[in-house]
Each structure stands twice: as C-alpha cells, then as structure tokens.
Chains A and B, each alone.
Chain A
Amino acid sequence: DAGVIQSPRHEVTEMGQEVTLRCKPISGHNSLFWYRQTMMRGLELLIYFNNNVPIDDSGMPEDRFSAKMPNASFSTLKIQPSEPRDSAVYFCASRTGPHGYTFGSGTRLTVV
C-alpha cells in the first residue's frame, strides 16, 4: 500500500499563474478530503468528496479555487489565478468508514 500520493511535493510559481495539485487516494477509500495548512489558520477543510461526488465545498476560499474528482483514483485542486496569500501546505486525505483518515505528504505551494 503506497498510501495517499500527492504531487508535486513542492511548487513555486509566480502570482497570476495557474497551479494544479494532484492526489491519488488509497484504493478502496471512498472519501477524499483537501485541507490547507497555514501557521495562522491551522488546518482548514477546503472540500470533500464521497464516491467521487463533491459533498461540501464551503471551505473553498474563492472562485479561484476549484477541485475535481473524475474517478475514484484521482483528484485535482486547481488555483487560477494564484496569489501570494495562497502560499500554504495543501494536504489530501482519504478514508473508508467513520475514522481512519490517511494523509498524503502534502504539497508546499509558494506563490511569489
């Protein structure tokens, strides 16, 4: 079991550019979560999916953020256009059942 796989591990981009973060959940896990971690705000839930369907995207900060899950083994989080305040570590997690989240190693995004 390779765990939850996120790519890239690090991303540095210029303000205004499009950024796409990728996540491969654990096979058989039916829920997927995108979180953002910053020093000031801690871990914030951005959006989550059950069985590939977005359930709650109320945590997505602005229309610049969008997420998709075209199939059970892949999800993307896109920021377009990116801004310096989007700099953070973005985590993907998956689970099956009421507990037992497994987190990926995260993508550290820096927007300059």
Chain B
Amino acid sequence: GEDVEQSLFLSVREGDSSVINCTYTDSSSTYLYWYKQEPGAGLQLLTYIFSNMDMKQDQRLTVLLNKKDKHLSLRIADTQTGDSAIYFCAENSGNTPLVFGKGTRLSVIA
C-alpha cells in the first residue's frame, strides 16, 4: 500500500530556515500536502502542490517536489516560535483519502 515517511524531530533556532522532508511511494499521487498541528488542535492545511509542479511558494513557505525521487520538502523561512508544531506530509490520488506520514515535530529555540 501507499507509504509516506518523515523524520520525527527537527530543532532550529529562531530566525533560521527550517526544512522538513518527506518521501512517498505512490507514483500515482496527484496532490501532495503539508498540514500543521498545534497542541490540542486538529490538522490545518498549510499548502498543497499538484504533482505536475516542482515548486510552490506562499509567503514564508516553499514547497519543493522531486517527482522522480518521490521527495517532497517544506521550507519555512525566518522560523518563529509560533511555527513550533507537528508538520504532516500527505498524499492522495484524485478523490482517494489522504495518506499521512507520522509527522515531524518542529521545535524552535529562541
């Protein structure tokens, strides 16, 4: 079945850039997503990228997709303490349910 892998932890200093990486196995993935989960809350959609794109930028967020290597990354520029959260990578094909990674816990050190 489909699988999405992420590293579990990342620690960065405030003001630095954070890069969270994700690999997936489903070559038919149509959309790839990044979600953010703050403590005690549900998952919030941050951004998504269609599989025929290789980059998407939205303010401090940059998503890079290497479809050949099935590798997705999320870069957060000028990371702030408010960015501390768990970040989930997810994928699906068309209308199928999302398949999530286990999440990367980002800790921002002031």
Contacts and interface: CB of A to CB of B under 8 A. Distances in A.
Interface residue range, chain B: 20 to 34
Contacts of B98: 33, 45, 101
Contact of A106 (B42, B88, B92, B99): B42
Interface of B: 30-31, 33, 40-45, 48, 88, 92, 94-95, 97-103
A80 B9 CA distance: 36
Contacts of A91: 42-43
Interface of A: 4, 31, 33, 42-43, 45, 48, 50, 56, 91, 93, 97-106
Contact of A45 (B30, B31, B33, B97): B97
A18 to B, nearest CB: 24
B100 A105 contact: no
Given A42-B102, A42-B103, A100 B94 contact: no
Question: DSSP class of A's interface residues: helix, strand, loop or mixed?
Answer: strand
Name the residue in A42, A48, A91 with the highest tally of chain B Cβ atoms < 10 Å from its Cβ: A42
A31 B97 CA distance: 9
Given A43-B88, A45-B99, 7 more contacts: A33-B98, A45-B97, A50-B95, A91-B42, A91-B43, A101-B45, A103-B44
Name the residue in B30, B44, B98 with the highest tally of chain A Cβ atoms < 10 Å from its Cβ: B98
Contacts of A101: 43, 45, 98
